[in-house]
Structure 1
């Protein structure tokens, strides 16, 4: 049981978190930026115009990437379970 094993597990977990969060947040950021530019150009200050497209795009991203996200989490969990013998002994 060496500290390198735990560092590897933590690194893999953090990388997985970064990827999964980016899948959900980046499309909303892009749409939010486009809507903000549109609002600035037309001087429309409606709050729902900013919120609703980001919500819809985030939900669509989750629907499209949901299967892939679940597969990545399952692969990581399977990898953790396979590493148990190297952690114990």
Structure 2
């Protein structure tokens, strides 16, 4: 097992994790920003106001992009399992 192979596995793992988590993080950040702007404009300073809209947005994004996320994770896992013979050498 060469150093380049190990680095490639690490790179694939990081890119997979980033690509799967990015949509949820971006939507959560945008919803939080919009709620913060709304709170600043209306001077409502309730800390728990952002929780429910963020959770609803995350659930919607998971319903829409969930199959794609699962497909990416399954492809990564299948790739790792198919390369297991190279890892043990």
The CA distance in 2 between the partners of 1:88 and 1:43, in whole Å, is: 60
Task: Output the aligned Cα RMSD.
Answer: 1.3
The CA distance in 2 between the partners of 1:48 and 1:27, in whole Å, is: 18
Determine helix, strand or coil for the equivalent of 1:44.
coil
1:51 shift after superposition: 1.4
Quote the residue 2:2 is aligned against: 2
Q: Trace 1:1-89 onto structure 2 (pairs within 5 A).
A: 1-89=1-89
The CA distance in 1 between the partners of 2:51 and 2:10, in whole Å, is: 34
The CA distance in 2 between the partners of 1:47 and 1:88, in whole Å, is: 51
The CA distance in 2 between the partners of 1:2 and 1:50, in whole Å, is: 48
- How many pairs were matched up? 89
TM-score using structure 2 length: 0.90
